[in-house]
A and B are shown apart, each in its own frame.
Chain A
Amino acid sequence: MADEQHITEVSGTGVPIPGDDIDTDQILPARFMKEVTFDNMADYLFYDARRDDDGERNEHPLNRFEGASIAVVNSNFGCGSSREHAPQAMMRWGVDGVVGESYAEIFRDNCKSIGIPAVTTDHETVTELQAWIEDNPDGDVEIDVEGETVSYGGRTIDVDITDAMQEALVEGIWDTTTLMYSNMSKVETTAASLPYVENA
């Protein structure tokens, strides 16, 4: 069961996705959201950015770093629409964890909902890591969710993770449906106390 999965560390090779304010329309263009499941979303990840004008794959990092598990991004990543299709596409492409300067809140929440740690650190540290991955495409990057560090190439850097995300992932309680479903009697009480909720 998903709700028993403790995520204390994730690791693998990295993929740098440089750029600030990368919005979800770029991560997963809206025209590919017309499917009733997330199954094929990996095919559409950064669809436009990964192709040149005649539709051929270009030099986009996602094309060059196939098989990577750790995405390294810059600031305000995932801004714009609330579509969970964006992190779902990243996960299905192979991303198990994200290191970045900052994230849009809905994007980070969506990552938490599907068990992807999204940690933050400063601009310099992120760009150094991105450069290191460019030089070491086969090098291992490890996010220690519990210890709040990222290790690569013999280095260990401190990173930040929100308390809610850390707690949820480490304790294996990121499946909020299961978590909240156990409180249904309290939910009924709250609903009944609201003047606008009838027959609760």
Chain B
Amino acid sequence: MSDGTLYDKVWEKHKVTELPNGQDQLFVGLHLVHEVTSPQAFGMLEERDLDVAFPDRTFATTDHVVPTEADKRQRPFPDREAEEMLSALERNTADSGITFFGFDSGKQGITHVVAPELGLSQPGMTVACGDSHTATHGAFGSIGIGIGTSQIRDVLATGCIAADKQKVRRINVEGTLGEGVYAKDVILKIIQDLGVDGGVGHVYEYGGSAIDALDMEGRLAVCNMSIEGGARAGYINPDETTYEYLRGREYVPEGEAFEERKAYWESIASDAGAEYDDVVTIDADGIDPLVTWGINPGQVIEIGDAVPSPADFDARTDREAAERALKHMDIEPGQSMLGYDVDVAFLGTCTNGRVSDFEAAARVLEGNTIDGDVRALAVPGSETVRAECERRGIDETFINAGFQWRRAGCSMCLAMNDDALEGDEVCASSSNRNFVGRQGSKDGRTVLMNPAMVAAAAIEGAVTDAREYLDDDPTGSAGGVGDGEVAD
């Protein structure tokens, strides 16, 4: 059993009591709410005549169903169902005294982008959201837990969830990332090595030299995809990078109060002698950018490698999964993903929809135009991200290259709005899931990759090693890459 880890400490601090069913009742320090999974929960609350217990610890925004085309964001939306969902959220949050970041606030966006950039997500918190990518907030050294609608009802009514404590696996990612290799590649590498269900029963604590070197936006991308590795939560111990990122953000205390808060943050980091249930080491030295070749995020290869054959896998389930994947993606074992035709390029999401992601892609796009047959969408993760990109002129690079520059939302990550794949289109995507049907068409094909690779795929109309575009970078803007702090 783990002992002395951040997970143990945060759990202990938030444990209210043990429940008769053997689970722990855990206080949720930050509850994030969006329009898709919450209306049913608010409805259940109303049925029972219960109030929201901690409205001050609850924050809402809208992301999944909102249109991302500027002229479609007039209310009421033409899409009646989307309008109904957003109206319900506005009503529910207003009635309960919950802060709602709507369009007018200028802060609307994907919950997992908005909460970090406003300084809502902080070390030593428990964070819950009716969304499986709540692990994202673990980048700050918090415990982010994705929950279902009945559990949202629990949190609204009691400020708590009933939870089972998990084992803790420490993942040491050692080495130095090469030029053009990003946090996204690190987490894809981890999932390649440990599998999509490798994390079941565990939370992941990421550390090691390659993780330490990442900025906060990179760390958010890594923790974001913990769930794709089967782990319910993933986190990184807070350090100076974390504290400096938080300083000055809207919901972070200032002056002396900051120092006091920081003392708490430091106190919850894993002890030097902490005990883990499991420790693994991943070699990140010299890895190449990774791309998926299949229909789950574990079906992934470094860009130079060949698509594997089902026979390469030991487990029966993996062999069968590989067969289904090859058929869906219409590729052969031994083939390279380089040159795989791409119809759509999608840049955004809670994995890679932050300023540094757009910077990395812009660096590739600078001075280039996208392939005439490619439909390319750049969808900032939040309106704050959009404003910052526009302030820096990054949007111009996208527009000049032929990308559509959109407003914030989940967009084609799961296609609950108008942004969807059609037929068997192939999408080069900076999102986190390549499941069949995920991007809105049951025959659609998703190739997951880092943002620079999405840009390169858009230019070539095919999967491409984006590093080819970095060698002769005419703008010399390399300084921007990897240094993803939102300026202010």
B25, B48, B438: the one within 8 Å of A180 (CB): B25
Q: How far is the CB of A140 from chain B (nearest CB, A)?
A: 29
A23, A37, A75, A179: the one within 8 Å of B43 (CB): A37
Q: Please report the C-alpha to C-alpha distance between residue A190 and residue B317 in the assembled complex, in whole angstroms.
A: 44
Q: How far is the CB of A105 from chain B (nearest CB, A)?
A: 5
Q: Across the two chains, which residue of chain A brings its CB closest to B92?
A: A36
Is the pair B21, A79 in contact by a Cβ cutoff of 8 Å?
no
B14, B148, B416, B435: the one within 8 Å of A31 (CB): B416
Q: Which residues of B contact A200 (CB under 8 A)?
A: 54
Q: Across the two chains, which residue of chain A brings its CB closest to B316?
A: A123
What class of interface size applies to chain A in its complex with B?
35 or more
Q: Which residues of A contact B296 (CB under 8 A)?
A: 21, 23
Q: Which of A176, A194, A198 has most B Cβ within 10 Å? A: A176
Interface residues as binary, B420-438 with A (CB distance below 8 Å gives 1, 0 otherwise): 0000000000000101111
Interface residues as binary, B434-453 with A (CB distance below 8 Å gives 1, 0 otherwise): 01111010100000000000
| In the complex, number of A-B residue pairs with CB atoms less than 8 Å apart | 207
Q: Please report the C-alpha to C-alpha distance between residue A20 and residue B325 in the assembled complex, in whole angstroms.
A: 12
Is the pair B56, A179 in contact by a Cβ cutoff of 8 Å?
no
Q: Please report the C-alpha to C-alpha distance between residue A173 and residue B17 in the assembled complex, in whole angstroms.
A: 16
Q: Which residues of A contact B321 (CB under 8 A)?
A: 20-21
A25-B433, A191-B54 are known contacts. Are A176 and B416 too (CB-CB below 8 A)?
Answer: no
Q: Which residues of B contact A173 (CB under 8 A)?
A: 19-21
Interface residues as binary, A179-195 with B (CB distance below 8 Å gives 1, 0 otherwise): 11101101100110111
Q: Which of B39, B150, B161, B200 has most A Cβ within 10 Å? A: B150
Q: Across the two chains, which residue of chain A brings its CB closest to B162?
A: A176
B contact residues, total (Cβ < 8 Å): 78
B15, B17, B20: the one within 8 Å of A167 (CB): B20
The answer to whether the Cβ of A113 comes within 8 Å of any Cβ in the partner chain is yes
Is the pair B84, A186 in contact by a Cβ cutoff of 8 Å?
no
Q: How far is the CB of B70 from chain A (nearest CB, A)?
A: 21
Interface residues as binary, B50-93 with A (CB distance below 8 Å gives 1, 0 otherwise): 10011011000000110000000000000101101100100000
The answer to whether the Cβ of A30 comes within 8 Å of any Cβ in the partner chain is yes
A36-B85, A167-B21 are known contacts. Are A110 and B16 too (CB-CB below 8 A)?
Answer: no
Is the pair A168, B264 in contact by a Cβ cutoff of 8 Å?
no
A23, A25, A177, A190: the one within 8 Å of B48 (CB): A177
Is the pair B15, A190 in contact by a Cβ cutoff of 8 Å?
yes
Q: How far is the CB of A16 from chain B (nearest CB, A)?
A: 16
Q: Which of B54, B57, B84, B151 has most A Cβ within 10 Å? A: B151
B21, B122, B164: the one within 8 Å of A171 (CB): B21
The answer to whether the Cβ of B171 comes within 8 Å of any Cβ in the partner chain is no
Q: Across the two chains, which residue of chain B brings its CB closest to A1?
A: B48
Q: Which residues of A contact B162 (CB under 8 A)?
A: 164, 176, 179-180
Is the pair A109, B264 in contact by a Cβ cutoff of 8 Å?
no
The answer to whether the Cβ of B160 comes within 8 Å of any Cβ in the partner chain is yes
Looking at A5-13, A80-88, A145-153, the stretch in contact with chain B turns out to be A80-88
Q: Across the two chains, which residue of chain B brings its CB closest to A101?
A: B317
The answer to whether the Cβ of B402 comes within 8 Å of any Cβ in the partner chain is no
Is the pair A33, B416 in contact by a Cβ cutoff of 8 Å?
yes
Is the pair B415, A199 in contact by a Cβ cutoff of 8 Å?
no
The answer to whether the Cβ of B159 comes within 8 Å of any Cβ in the partner chain is yes
The answer to whether the Cβ of A54 comes within 8 Å of any Cβ in the partner chain is no
Within 8 A of A (CB), among B228-281: 230, 232, 260-261, 264
Q: How far is the CB of A104 from chain B (nearest CB, A)?
A: 8
The answer to whether the Cβ of B157 comes within 8 Å of any Cβ in the partner chain is yes
Q: Which residues of B contact A33 (CB under 8 A)?
A: 36, 64, 416
Is the pair B40, A197 in contact by a Cβ cutoff of 8 Å?
no
Looking at B123-131, B209-217, B353-361, B385-393, the stretch in contact with chain A turns out to be B123-131
Beyond contacts A26-B435, A106-B147: 4 other A-B pairs, Cβ-Cβ < 8 A, are A34-B84, A79-B197, A82-B147, A183-B16
**CB-defined A-B contacts under 8 Å, sample of 15:** A25-B435, A30-B416, A31-B416, A34-B84, A37-B39, A81-B433, A88-B149, A102-B197, A106-B146, A164-B22, A179-B162, A187-B158, A190-B14, A191-B159, A194-B27
> Which 4 residue pairs are nearest across A and B when measured between Cβ atoms?
A113-B150, A84-B148, A110-B148, A36-B39
